[in-house]
Amino acid sequence: MLSRIAESMFWIGRYVERAEDTARILDVQTQLVLEDATVDEDATCRSLLSIMGVEHVEGRADLPLVLDALCYDPASSISIASALAAAREGARRARETLSVPMWEALNTTYRAIPSGQFQAMRAPAIFQWVRERAALVNGTADATTVRDEGWHFLMLGRCVERADMTSRLVASAALAGAGQPWTPTLRASGAYEAFLRAYRGMETERASAEFLLLDRLFPRSVVFALNRAEQCLENVESSQRAGFQNDAQRLLGRMRAELEYRSLSDLMDDLPHQMERVQTTCALATEAVTRRYFAGSEALAWQGVQG
Amino acid sequence: MVAMFDGYVSSGPAYDEMFDGDRLRPPYARLRTSLDTMTTPELVSRVEALQKGYLDQGVTFDIGGEERAFPLDILPRVIEMDTWTTIEKGVQQRVRALELFLADVYDAGQVFDDGVIPRGVITTSSHYHRAAAHVRPPNGVRVHVSGIDLIRDNAGEFRVLEDNVRVPSGVSYVMTNRRAISAALPETIAEHRIRPVAGYPQRLLQALRAAAPAGVTDPTVVVLTPGVFNGAYFEHALLARTMGVELVEGRDLVCRRGRLMMRTTKGLEPVHVVYRRIDDEFLDPVHFRADSVLGVPGLIDAARAGNVTLANAVGNGVADDKLVYTYMPDIIRYYLDEEPVLRNVDTWRMGDAEARAEVLDRLDELVLKPVDGSGGKGIVIGPHATRAELDGLRTKVLADPRAWIAQPVVQLSTVPTFVDGSLGPRHVDLRPFAVNDGSRVWVLPGGLTRVALAEGELIVNSSRGGGSKDTWVLAGPTQVELQEAAEEPVTEPVAAAAEVPEVPESPVAPVAPPVHHAPEMPVGPVLADLHAQAEQQQQGGGPC
């Protein structure tokens, strides 16, 4: 498969997952702010933006500003709007390799932005819409995509993004400090009932974090996502007798092992920092994948004469 | 209830293809019966569904960075079998002659020695490339794909307006238009016997495979596109997808030791046939424009060495030059010893002193065309031009006579078209597509009908706001063509219904959290940052 197309597939997977997970995080946080008048809106919004990698906010941070930056504003690189547009742009470039239904699912989702429909939807309905559209894209992909290399890169992108974003979701819950941020966080992952069943209703911060980080059966947990990402890499690599040739595999595997073998208390004591390490690992793994499989797809060897 | 065609007036000197005055022409009889039972509001709703469908499917083209759906009129154009047979013969004849002419021009040049066409006409053409000289393509084909533009004159006769043998585009809309109209007018389609168009990609693939370098039994074929900003990108993607081959950009390819390779996740893999949708000038910075970021350094040498086939061949532009067009009837007689089946539109060469004097006297009643223009660029329609424009034109013609030809104002034929809620006559042309696989020239039944959507407008190009129509070639009573497998049907996505999620129990007031530093969200390869590429990719304006 063409390197450039493989790269497009990887990023389609990432952007669709990013749009969905951003919607999940916003859903939780907007509820927290809106439902409780005593919440310090400015501080909560700042911390939320910082979790998404935005350090500087001019003036007072409030909910409309956050919604603009993380949801509506197509010019903001971390907004749902720009993630959907980027996923569709990637799809347009890989159009001959995508199944027609999958392209249409991505395209019609994106069409809501230029048509103004996206801007017109309000929270929390818009988050519901984004989740449903992501489900439509993923389900269509699942039902119509041949399980070739392109599929593995699509899944790899989705899993890497999911590990990264779940770690941000957990970090945002940890930031909320006291209160019960974990219930809405679990809800945001669509995992609340599964969690209650798994832990027989014993809802504690520890148990919630453990579930979201380490559960081997829950598809949105960090460990589950890292595991799947490793499998995807295995599928595109020829098997090794010993060790890993592939930097991305090493990085992801080591992170997963660290999370699994560390004591939960250790993790909990330093949750935000540990989550950052997950994010850094995902970024490094992405670089490694790019070097190994996508290299040369954008570098132009020919230096043309100007004029 | 008002029937749809009541009050339709086909006025003016143009030939209306549906009505002869107020008499219906035979090919349209069934169409009229079928549509007359439909009310205008019903038609309007179908038109809306048609437009939405094109946006959802992404049947769009970029014009100046904005993505637009290609306008498709709901009323088809119908062509009878006999009429079509003539067109088909004429197009085949023309392609055969063009092939022989190109082979001759880039080899011995017999046609010059025998005085059919002056050598200077070719050697002064900006499309003449020495890189193409003395290169014999593997199966002798240079014009793998052609689009021969036809118009129907006031007498109803089809005439050739120009030949496109470089990178003709528009065939994708022939296929999508048929599917869209099948969905919009299923009953009407069912009442006709229309020759199918879905087989085009297979014919093209077969022709491309047949053109593979000698000794390659299972060639790797690719479609080479300038990229996503190009007006015809949709078409490039559709053809690659329906042929089941890779769609590549220049940066995906690299030449190694005179062979062409593509960059894959498993390393470099060989490529044997390139269906290129990039103009000659951008193909290879070593040979042509050095600033091109769309091509592949070394591609021309690889092709000259016979290691890779380029379709269409480099240098074909000398044959579809508007000046060479004026010699085409003689070229057909010279190589084939036949009379042209399809006549040219009467044309004067401005390089010829006698013709020039006559034309300059009558500038206000003629059409002047730059020899090099495409997409309707630079054309001056005398009757519509101001005095100042005509004076400017006169100066230009005198400065460089070879750069111009003149033609009478030909009233393109009209077909009823649905604009702003009612039917009116609009001018159309026709671009049949032909595929040459080396053993025969196959002509896609139908081709692209382009329609000028503004009343009285004679320029139909998409870059000038033209649209298109589905073109139905009626099958004869004895012809049974198997309906070729259409692509999978397109389902309409269902809009999501918003539900308000459950509200959890009220949480206790959280304490203001400490501000934390998370890494930035990584982003993929920057998509919008390819300005040089974007600009070059847009070469050529609209899709067809």
State the DSSP code for A2.
B
Position A133, amino acid: R
Using CB atoms, pick whichever of B248, B501, B514 lies closest to residue A124: B501
Q: Which of B495, B69, B228, B487 is nearest to A108 (CA)?
A: B495
Do A7 and A81 reside in the same domain of the chain? yes
- Please indicate if any CB of chain B lies within 8 Å of the CB of A253: no
Mean pLDDT of A13-17: 97
> Using CA of residue B84, residue B85, residue B91, residue B92, what is the dihedral sign?
positive
Do A158 and A279 reside in the same domain of the chain? yes
Partner-chain contact A104 B505, CB within 8 Å: no
pLDDT tens sequence across A118-135: 999 998 899 999 999 999
Do A238 and A286 reside in the same domain of the chain? yes
Do A245 and A136 reside in the same domain of the chain? no
Q: Which residues of B touch A101 (CB under 8 A)?
A: 488, 491
Contacts 24+ apart (CB under 8 A), A56-61: none
Mean pLDDT of A63-90: 94
Asked if A31 contacts A134 with a C-beta cutoff of 8 angstroms, the reply is no
Helix or strand holding residue A128 (H, E):
helix A125-144
Asked if B139 contacts B146 with a C-beta cutoff of 8 angstroms, the reply is no
State the DSSP code for B228.
T
Predicted local distance difference test score (pLDDT) of residue B532: 54
pLDDT for B543 beyond 80: no
Do A199 and A160 reside in the same domain of the chain? yes
pLDDT for B152 beyond 70: yes
CA-to-CA distance for A272 and A279, rounded, in angstroms?
Answer: 11
pLDDT tens sequence across A146-158: 999 999 999 999 9
State the DSSP code for B194.
B
Do A12 and A72 reside in the same domain of the chain? yes
A292 within a domain of the structure (yes/no): yes
Q: Which of B94, B192, B182 is nearest to B143 (CA)?
A: B94
Chain B residues 377-396 within an 8 A CB cutoff of chain A: none
Q: Best of B254, B265, B274, B487 to disrupt the A interface by mutation (most A CBs within 10 Å)?
A: B265
Tokens of A130: 């984004």
- Please indicate if any CB of chain B lies within 8 Å of the CB of A78: yes
Do A210 and A293 reside in the same domain of the chain? yes
CA-to-CA distance for A181 and A176, rounded, in angstroms?
Answer: 6
A306 within a domain of the structure (yes/no): no
Task: Tell the residue number behind the tokens 């470099």, with chain if given.
Answer: B268
Mean pLDDT, chain B, integer:
86
Asked if B255 contacts B262 with a C-beta cutoff of 8 angstroms, the reply is no
A307 within a domain of the structure (yes/no): no
Asked if A252 contacts A233 with a C-beta cutoff of 8 angstroms, the reply is yes
A305 within a domain of the structure (yes/no): no
Do A136 and A160 reside in the same domain of the chain? no
Using CB atoms, pick whichever of B251, B508, B514 lies closest to residue A300: B251
pLDDT for B462 beyond 90: no
CA-to-CA distance for B445 and A149, rounded, in angstroms?
Answer: 38
CA-to-CA distance for B237 and B248, rounded, in angstroms?
Answer: 10
Q: Which chain A residue is nearest to residue B60, measuring alpha carbons? A: A92
pLDDT for A187 beyond 90: no
CA-to-CA distance for B379 and B386, rounded, in angstroms?
Answer: 14
Q: Which residues of B touch A108 (CB under 8 A)?
A: 56, 493
Q: Which of A183-192, B10-19, B496-505, B507-516 has the highest mean pLDDT?
A: B10-19
Do A288 and A153 reside in the same domain of the chain? yes
Partner-chain contact A47 B514, CB within 8 Å: yes
- Going along chain A, which residue ranges are E strands? none
Using CB atoms, pick whichever of B58, B285, B508 lies closest to residue A180: B508
Do A209 and A77 reside in the same domain of the chain? no
CA-to-CA distance for A128 and B501, rounded, in angstroms?
Answer: 8
Q: Which segment of A52-56, A153-157, B251-255, B393-397 scores lowest on mean pLDDT? A: A52-56
Q: Which segment of B79-83, B161-165, B180-184, B485-489 scores lowest on mean pLDDT? A: B485-489
SS3 B247: strand
pLDDT for A228 beyond 70: yes
Asked if B137 contacts B313 with a C-beta cutoff of 8 angstroms, the reply is yes
Chain B residues 296-335 within an 8 A CB cutoff of chain A: 297
Tokens of B95: 């392609």
Chain B residues 449-508 within an 8 A CB cutoff of chain A: 487-488, 490-491, 493, 496, 498-508
How far from each other are the two terminal CA atoms of chain A, in whole angstroms? 35
Partner-chain contact A184 B504, CB within 8 Å: yes
Q: Best of B284, B521, B526, B527 to disrupt the A interface by mutation (most A CBs within 10 Å)?
A: B521
State the DSSP code for B24.
E
State the DSSP code for A225.
H
- Please indicate if any CB of chain B lies within 8 Å of the CB of A72: no
pLDDT for B198 beyond 60: yes
Residue B53 has φ and ψ, to the nearest 5°, of -60, -40
Distances (CA, A) of B451 to B169, B389, B455: 16, 26, 10
Task: Tell the residue number behind the tokens 């033609």, with chain if given.
Answer: B407
Q: Which segment of A74-83, A237-246, B230-239 scores lowest on mean pLDDT? A: A237-246
Helix or strand holding residue B299 (H, E):
helix B299-304
Write down which residue in A145, A163, A178 finishes a domain. A145
State the DSSP code for B402.
G
pTM: 0.82
Q: Which chain B residue is nearest to residue A188, measuring alpha carbons? A: B501
Predicted local distance difference test score (pLDDT) of residue A305: 40
Q: Which residues of A touch B225 (CB under 8 A)?
A: none
Q: Which pLDDT band, with edges at 50, 70 and 90, does B338 fall under? A: very high
SS3 B260: strand
Q: Which residues of A touch B229 (CB under 8 A)?
A: none
Predicted local distance difference test score (pLDDT) of residue A178: 54
Partner-chain contact B241 A78, CB within 8 Å: no
More confident residue, A28 or B274: B274
Mean pLDDT, chain A, integer:
88
> Using CA of residue B15, residue B16, residue B20, residue B25, what is the dihedral sign?
positive
Q: Which residues of A touch B506 (CB under 8 A)?
A: 35-36
Partner-chain contact A36 B57, CB within 8 Å: no
Partner-chain contact A77 B228, CB within 8 Å: no
CA-to-CA distance for B6 and B172, rounded, in angstroms?
Answer: 34
CA-to-CA distance for B341 and B92, rounded, in angstroms?
Answer: 10
Q: Best of A93, A168, A235, A238 to disrupt the B interface by mutation (most B CBs within 10 Å)?
A: A93
Distances (CA, A) of B377 to B230, B542, B543: 18, 12, 14
Do A254 and A114 reside in the same domain of the chain? no
Helix or strand holding residue B467 (H, E):
strand B467-473
Task: Tell the residue number behind the tokens 């799809």, with chain if given.
Answer: A91
Do A150 and A291 reside in the same domain of the chain? yes
A44 by Cβ neighbours in 10 Å (0-12 / 13-18 / 19+) ranks as buried
Predicted local distance difference test score (pLDDT) of residue B206: 95
Write down which residue in A109, A124, A145 finishes a domain. A145
Partner-chain contact A176 B517, CB within 8 Å: no
- Please indicate if any CB of chain A lies within 8 Å of the CB of B516: yes
Q: How long is chain B?
A: 544
- Please indicate if any CB of chain B lies within 8 Å of the CB of A235: no
Tokens of B174: 């022939």
Q: Which residues of B touch A95 (CB under 8 A)?
A: 58, 237, 241, 247
pLDDT tens sequence across A245-269: 688 999 999 999 999 999 999 898 8
| Domain of A126, in residue numbers | 1-145
Number of Cβ within 10 Å of residue B182's Cβ equals 16
Asked if A169 contacts A52 with a C-beta cutoff of 8 angstroms, the reply is no
How many domains does chain A contain in total?
Answer: 2
Q: Which pLDDT band, with edges at 50, 70 and 90, does B434 fall under? A: very high
Write down which residue in A120, A145, A170 finishes a domain. A145
B526 CA: distance to closest CA in chain A (Å) = 9
Q: Which pLDDT band, with edges at 50, 70 and 90, does A297 fall under? A: very low
A139 within a domain of the structure (yes/no): yes
How far from each other are the two terminal CA atoms of chain B, in whole angstroms? 39
pLDDT tens sequence across B91-143: 999 999 999 999 999 999 999 999 999 998 898 888 898 888 888 899 999 99
Q: Which residues of B touch A36 (CB under 8 A)?
A: 506-507, 509-510
Q: Which residues of A touch B488 (CB under 8 A)?
A: 100-101
A302 within a domain of the structure (yes/no): no
Q: Which chain A residue is nearest to residue B57, measuring alpha carbons? A: A104
Note the Cα B222 to chain centre separation in Å.
Answer: 19
A303 within a domain of the structure (yes/no): no
Number of Cβ within 10 Å of residue B495's Cβ equals 12
